[in-house]
């Protein structure tokens, strides 16, 4: 095994994946309340250690080089985005920790719920307050969909109370999971929680701002710098692969030549 070639190849593949993630973040730089992914890279143990083959003789110099790099699971950067005014009373932004809760209308347990900070709401044809992009029904603090009159003016107060015709209709569910790291992306700017019951969710105390939306948490300048770094790493690793290929060629065609 050519240790240098495989080590360089691992670095190249990891950074190609980094570029994919960065590209997705940049593509969502203008997506309401989008939370960017963060790649994590970890050092890979030498094969003798990683494979638990302690009976194989140790090559100290090679083991000091390690086994290259590999990816650890992505994390999500739950940083608040800047607020953007829309003047639409059904657009709402959260200030502080918390997530809106939505009903998927399918499945049971954790499959029936989604969470997001995307507060683009509208009233559906059948009179429910729904997420404008997905059509999922917005849930109140009692885990029930919110029914409204499609023709009346709606006012949403900072504490999440939904009012129509000067009458209190419901209060938005604004919740936090027991551990925010349990949230995983489910597509459509939504998150889901695996194996977490409704009863385990914690009430959040974020303030609701009607007529505003939370912007994307993507820092475009930072992402461009990350992109440049990943491109540079790919170039360096590709050069290392070429050098190792040239060394193997010399070893085969010169040192290996039979006199």
Cα–Cα distance for residue pair 68/13, rounded to 1 Å: 11
Give the pLDDT confidence of 168-192 residue by residue, as tens digits. Answer: 999 999 999 988 988 999 999 999 9
Tell me what the mean pLDDT of segment 220-225 comes to.
95
The domain spans of the chain are 3-78+218-255, 83-214
List all residues 6 or more positions away from 71 whose beta carbon is below 8 Å from its beta carbon.
Answer: 14, 17, 39, 40, 41, 42
For the cut 90, the answer to whether the pLDDT of residue 35 exceeds it is yes
| pTM, full prediction | 0.83
Give the pLDDT confidence of 87-125 residue by residue, as tens digits. Answer: 999 999 999 999 999 998 886 766 789 999 999 999 999
pLDDT at 16: 94
Percentage of the chain exceeding pLDDT 70: 85
Q: How confident is the model at residue 43 (pLDDT cuts 50, 70, 90)?
A: confident
């Amino acid at each position: 095994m050519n240790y240098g070639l495989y080590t360089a190849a691992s670095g190249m593949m990891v950074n190609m994946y980094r570029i994919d993630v960065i590209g997705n973040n940049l593509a969502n730089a203008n997506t309401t309340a989008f939370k960017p992914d963060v790649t994590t890279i970890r050092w890979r143990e030498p094969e003798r250690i990683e494979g638990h083959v302690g009976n194989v003789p140790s090559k100290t110099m090679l083991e000091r080089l390690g086994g290259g790099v590999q990816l650890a699971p992505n994390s999500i950067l739950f940083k608040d985005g800047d607020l953007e005014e829309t003047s639409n009373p059904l657009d709402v932004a959260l200030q502080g920790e918390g997530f809106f809760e939505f009903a998927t209308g399918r499945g049971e347990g954790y499959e029936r719920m989604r969470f997001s900070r995307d507060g683009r709401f509208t009233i559906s044809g059948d009179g429910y307050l729904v997420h404008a992009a997905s059509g999922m029904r917005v849930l109140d603090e009692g885990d029930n969909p919110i029914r409204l009159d499609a023709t009346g003016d709606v006012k949403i107060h900072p504490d999440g109370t939904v009012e129509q015709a000067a009458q209190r209709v419901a209060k938005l569910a604004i919740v936090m999971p027991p551990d925010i790291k349990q949230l995983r992306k489910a597509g459509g700017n939504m998150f889901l929680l695996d194996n977490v019951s409704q009863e385990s969710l914690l009430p959040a105390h974020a303030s609701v701002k009607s007529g505003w939306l939370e912007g994307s948490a993507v820092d475009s300048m930072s992402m461009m710098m990350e992109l440049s770094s990943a491109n540079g790493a790919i170039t360096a690793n590709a050069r290392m692969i070429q050098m190792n290929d040239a060394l193997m060629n010399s070893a085969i065609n010169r040192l290996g030549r039979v006199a």
